[in-house]
Each structure stands twice: as structure tokens, then as C-alpha cells.
Amino acid sequence: MPEVLIIGAGLSGLIAAQELTRLDHDVLIVDKGRSPGGRLATRRIDDATLDHGAQFFTVRDPGFSAQVEHWLTDGVVTEWCRGFGEPDGYPRYRAEGGMNRLARHLSRGIDIVTGVRAQATIAGSDGWTVTYDGANREPDDAVAVIATPPVPQSLEILDAGPVRLDEEHHALRSLRYHKVIALLMTTDRRPDLGPTGARQTPGDPDFSFIADNHVKGISASPALTFHVAHQRSDELWEASNHELVEHLLPLACEAVGLSSTDVGTAQIKKWRYSGPVEPWPDRCAVVAASPGPLVLAGDAFGGPKIEGAYLSGLAAATAVASLLG
């Protein structure tokens, strides 16, 4: 039986596992996906490689900065640029070979079970039992649980237990997330997106970010990722993937000066929980200390994006280790 069971193998879960393992705690991660990473997501289309979740990350926190220096030394990440228009002095980092490479690096030495969806956290006499949808895995017992999925999904798992939230944490039910639709396409020629191969336009009604993964340095051939703006993603969310390609492809071609004949393959990826509208003020939430620590973490806590996810995973591990003594 693991001492700590972590639900979710995104960045927060992986960082929490790494830290707890370093502190000599026995850890198991379970994840509903086919492989670790969450929004550290990279897809292959023919001979092209595309990041379709998180595109890059920046560094502000000194502790995260020290960790990034280790990743740079290990050759896992590299600096992409210092701004997608006029340089602003802040490095934007990418992972070598695609953002999922970072997840694979952090997975080393960690016991991870994929393809299982957590259903409920049930309190026992001296810890928690985590049950799963379907019959492909028996329940796991653990002294402590860290849940790192998007908060609405984590609360579904707690409610099924049921685990009651106290007054301090009841507001977690009000957390809202932005939706993002990603359009991915391979092309026969490279559009002009400037020396960085990317364009960040938060005020654009259609696309908030566009990147050529070839210029970015992760794809053998031109392959574009378009992140649809939040409001437009929300408006189009219920459309089928076929309808989305039909609607978005002409807009994407116009945005980068291509014609439809330049496009090879086009695919859609939907991110229902791309990031919190307003993050929770703390780095994690200890929603129960008995019968063992039960902690929520993720990029909704204390700040969004990759840095926020990293710091939340670290905070969750620290909280659990302290409560376990």
C-alpha cells in the first residue's frame, strides 16, 4: 500500500511525487490518461510534432528558477525566446522535443498507473481508500491523498466519498476555468510568424496564440498550433470537431497568410479546464487532516500556468510531509 496516493500525473502531481519521494515517502500516481503530462501535451501528426497544450513557460519565483536551471543543465528544456513581439527580457522556455518531454523526465523513478479514472476518496480508520471507475483496477488504500485534477473534477471525487468541505474551502466550488480549443495543422510551407515562429495576441477575437512548431524547434516539418481565444472557445465549445475545422481553418489560414491548399492535416483538441479565471489564493488546499491528509493542488492554486502548477505541487508535498510527521 502506498503511503501517499496522488491523483493526476500532470505537472503538479509529478512535482509532488518527486518531492515526497525525495523525503522518503512511498508514492503512487494514478492518472486517467494514456501517459503522464496533462497539459504538458505533445502530438505527432505524420512527421510533424506539435505542442497543443502548454506552449512555453516563464520564471518569476526564485525556487522555480533554481529548478529550471537543473532542467537546462539536464538538456530537458531550453530558452525559446524573450518575447513574441518586441523583446521584453523575460525568457520563454520550451521543452526539447515537445512539452511532454518534461513530463517524461519528471516521471523517472515514480510509480505511475495510467488509464484509470479515480471515482471516490473514502475515509477509513487510518487513511483513505481511492476507488476507480470500471473494473480495471481494485481500490487503493493510502495514508494520504493529493488530488491534482482541475478543481471541479477533484470535487466530484471528494463528493463521491463523501468528503465534506468546511466553510473555509466551500468557495472552491465557485472556481471557474477558461475553455480553450486548439486547432492543429500541418502545412506544405512555412508561414511568416517572425524570428520566433510565434505570435501572441491576447486581444484578438479569434486566436490568442499561434506557433509554428518547426521554427520553435520541436518539429521536423511546418506544423501550426492555434489557440482559440477564450470567448470564442466558449462560443464554439459544443460544435463537433468536424464543424470546428470547417469554421476555424479559413480563419487560421487568413491569420498566417496561407491558403487551404497549403494545409495537410487539421485536427482539434479541446481543453475544458485550460486555466483558472481567478486562482485560489493559497498554493494548495488541505481539505482534511484526518484520517490522513487530503490535499487539493494544481494550477488553480496560487497562480496559473506551469510555474503555478510547479509551486502548487511542491506546496502540497510539503503540507503532506508535515502532517505525516
All three cell numbers of 287? 481539505
Q: What is the pLDDT of residue 137?
A: 94
Beta-bridge partner residues of 43:
50
Query: Which pLDDT tens digit goes with each residue over 103-134?
Result: 999 999 999 999 999 999 999 999 999 999 98
All three cell numbers of 234? 466558449
Are the CB atoms for 39 and 178 separated by under 8 Å?
A: no
For the segment 81-102, the average pLDDT, to the nearest whole number, is: 94
Instruction: Collect all residues with Cβ–Cβ distance below 8 Å to 96 and sequence separation of at least 6.
Output: 75, 76, 77, 78, 217, 218
Of the candidates 160, 163, 123, 115, the residue with the CA atom closest to the CA atom of residue 142: 123
Query: Which pLDDT tens digit goes with each residue over 135-194?
Result: 789 999 999 999 999 999 999 999 999 999 999 999 999 999 999 999 999 999 989 899
φ/ψ of 311, rounded to 5, equals -65, -35
DSSP string, 154-171: HHHHHHTTT----GGGGG
Global confidence as pTM: 0.96
Instruction: Name the H helices within 74-171.
Output: 100-107, 151-159
Beta-bridge partner residues of 295:
146, 286
Which one-letter DSSP state was computed for residue 205? S
pLDDT above 80 for 96: yes
